Amino acid sequence: MARSSVDPQFHTIIEPFRIKSVEPIRFTTAAERERALEAAGYNPFNLHADDVLIDLLTDSGTGAMSSEQWAAMMRGDESYAGSRSFDRFEAAVKGITGLKHIFPTHQGRAAERILCGAALEPKDIVPSNTHFDTTRANIEAVGAVAVDLPLPEARHPEVLHPFKGNMDVDALRLLLEEDRDRVPFVMLTVTNNSGGGQPVSMENVRAVSALCRRFGVPLMLDCCRYAENAYFIKLREPGYQDKSPREIAQEMFGYVDGATMSAKKDGMANIGGFLALNDDELAQRARNLLILGEGFPTYGGLAGYDLDALAVGFGEALEEPYLRYRLRSIEYLGERLLAADIPIIQPTGGHAVYLDAGKLLSHIPASQYPAWALSCVLYLVGGVRSVEIGSVMFGRQPDGSEKAAPLELVRLAFPRRTYTQSHVDYLAEVLLHVGAMRDRVRGVRIVEAPPVLRHFSARFEPVDGALIG
């Protein structure tokens, strides 16, 4: 991949920014972490942020804003209707997406809820490469069916594919041939978060779009990480090397009829989102729902200053030095892990490294939640907070029974512009240390859990009395 430094002869990854404002992080002792984890019921979601040294729980809303964004916030116009902040926000989103109606929302799932409320009927089907959890939940909340159609390669962590986030176009064709009347729209998630932060190729966007047009079905992008996806296209897809990430993003949006966005990712801000639509009639229904739940259409649940931070952030997310450094530091951590035989989803994605805990801790059965145990051990050993994407998150079935998730993963998601290369080196050190003691890691059992979304609040205990034997 492209180097992340000034001159190709230098290989050191350097951040393309310097630091103007700092936030201390707190060092804890192993004994303190042990007590904190026990008090948290062995659930990293229950930890106090103060007890975490490096927080990789999510890349959503956790990034650092630039001095230009902070300056823009001071220009925020808090008028209830028709604010100048909205004009700047709308111009920024239209400049990238070219879409006609732009509705700000407080975050991504609000845009999803409005789209689903405006476009879906019970029993409808919404295909995607892979729906993110909140998108799936919003589709199911109106009685419709969310269908994932990823590539077969996406199910195998170690299989290399430059665009492992692609949708299976043949599977989509079959679904549309059979059930076109039940499909109000198709979605594409860029990058494919649930599949490992893997990108979707322009060729795939074009093919899915052509198929949707043939069947007269609108195509929507879940574009949270559109800038990272655009940069992967530049690096990996023939014909895009000399195009800018902005030009690539513009082409990608040119193939779709609408988009939902969590601007807490590639909007480079701590809160925000939008719904963008071309269709006037659908937009009218969405506008009504927006007013009902979020606010007047020129602020949609956000302050004027949030809109201004986003208007600047959308552009910053597309800057090449930033994207090069971001993707390269994640790739670098992946390389360090692979060199030490620590299994991960390959290739590394745009916003996170996904550890294959099922393989690393193959001595722990799925019923003892190996990925959950690994996530706890990363905290105990290094003060690192990560998130399990495995049988705790997905194992409980609607009828109350348990079924192992297809993969036991731990996601290390990188907040944007927040940690430095020395933090990444520290992470590598912690992970290598845990890799070397993998045989000593023990599983966990659930002590108490709510019936739905149990990972957020369940309490656990180690099956053998301690996590590390």
- Mark residues 383-412: x for contact with ligand F0G by CB under 6 A, - for none: ------------------------------
CA distance 188 to 249: 14
Measured from the CB atom, the residue of 274 and 442 that comes closer to ligand F0G is 274
Give the residue with the Cβ less far from ligand F0G, 240 or 414: 414
Which neighbouring-strand residues pair with 51?
A: none
Q: What is the CA radius of gyration of the chain?
A: 22
Nearest to 131 by CA among 117, 153, 116: 116
Closest separation in Å from C-beta 259 to ligand F0G: 11
| Residue 222 interacts with ligand F0G (CB under 6 A): yes or no | yes
Q: Token pair for residue 236? A: 């990996």
- 62 scored as a contact of ligand F0G (CB under 6 A): no
Q: Is 189 in the site for ligand F0G (CB under 6 A)?
A: yes
Query: Which residues face 125 on adjacent strands?
Result: 145
Candidates 25-33, 127-135, 293-301, 321-329; binding stretch for ligand F0G (CB under 6 A): 127-135
Measure Cα distances from 449 to 136, 314, 366 in Å: 22, 39, 17
Q: Taking CB under 6 A as the rule, does residue 138 contact ligand F0G?
A: no
Which of these ranges, 11-19, 103-111, 286-294, 369-377, lies near ligand F0G under the rule CB under 6 A? 103-111
Q: Which has the closest alpha carbon to 177: 123, 144, 215?
A: 215
Nearer to ligand F0G, 297 or 301 (CB): 301
Measured from the CB atom, the residue of 101 and 225 that comes closer to ligand F0G is: 225
For ligand F0G, which residue of 60, 83, 298, 391 counts as binding (CB under 6 A)? 60
What token pair was written down for 104? 């700000």
Judged by beta carbon, residue 141 or residue 436, the one nearer ligand F0G is 141
Q: Is the dihedral of CA 32, 354, 224, 98 positive or negative?
A: positive
Q: Which stretch binds ligand F0G (CB under 6 A): 104-112, 175-183, 285-293, 438-446?
A: 104-112
Q: According to CB under 6 A, which one of 109, 326, 385, 442 is a site residue for ligand F0G?
A: 109
Number of residues that bind ligand F0G (CB under 6 A): 15
Strand ranges, E, within 218-257: 219-222
* Tokens 């609408």 belong to residue: 258
Ordered DSSP codes for 269-287 = SSS-EEEEE--HHHHHHHH
Using the rule CB under 6 A, is 43 a contact of ligand F0G?
Answer: no
| Residue (264 or 326) nearer to ligand F0G, CB | 264
Q: Which of 5, 134, 418, 420 binds ligand F0G (CB under 6 A)?
A: 134
Integer Cα distance of 301 and 273 in angstroms: 9
Query: How far is the C-alpha of 339 from the C-alpha of 256, rounded, in Å?
Result: 40
Listed ranges 7-15, 88-96, 131-139, 391-399: which one lies at the site for ligand F0G (CB under 6 A): 131-139
Contact status: 107 vs ligand F0G (CB under 6 A): yes
Among 262, 298, 329, 386, binds ligand F0G (CB under 6 A): 262
**224 part of the interface to ligand F0G, by CB under 6 A:** yes
Does residue number 5 form part of the binding site for ligand F0G (CB under 6 A)?
Answer: no
Cα separations in angstroms, 88 against 66, 94, 172: 17, 10, 37
Ordered alpha helix ranges (H), 294-396? 304-316, 320-339, 357-360, 370-382, 391-394
Rounded distance, CA 224 to CA 231, Å? Answer: 14
User: Which of the stretches 18-26, 29-37, 102-110, 274-282 binds ligand F0G when contact is defined by CB under 6 A?
Assistant: 102-110
Residue with tokens 């679904």: 175
Which H or E run includes 104?
Answer: strand 101-105
With a CB cutoff of 8 Å and minimum separation 6, the contacts of 331 are: 1, 347, 348
Distance CA 260, CA 104 (A): 10
- At 446, which helix (H) or strand (E)? strand 444-448
130 makes contact with ligand F0G (CB under 6 A): no
Looking at beta carbons only, is 13 or 261 nearer to ligand F0G?
A: 261
Tell me, residue by residue from 270 to 309, as one string, x for binding to ligand F0G by CB under 6 A and - for no binding.
---x------------------------------------
Does 266 help bind ligand F0G (rule: CB under 6 A)?
A: no
For residues 273 and 304, which CB has a smaller minimum distance to ligand F0G in the complex? 273
Contact 25, 54 (CB under 8 A): yes
Cβ-proximal residue to ligand F0G, closest one: 108
- Measured from the CB atom, the residue of 407 and 467 that comes closer to ligand F0G is 407
Which two three-digit tokens encode residue 224?
């949270």
Interface with ligand F0G (CB under 6 A):
58, 60, 107-109, 132, 134-135, 189, 193, 222, 224, 262, 264, 273
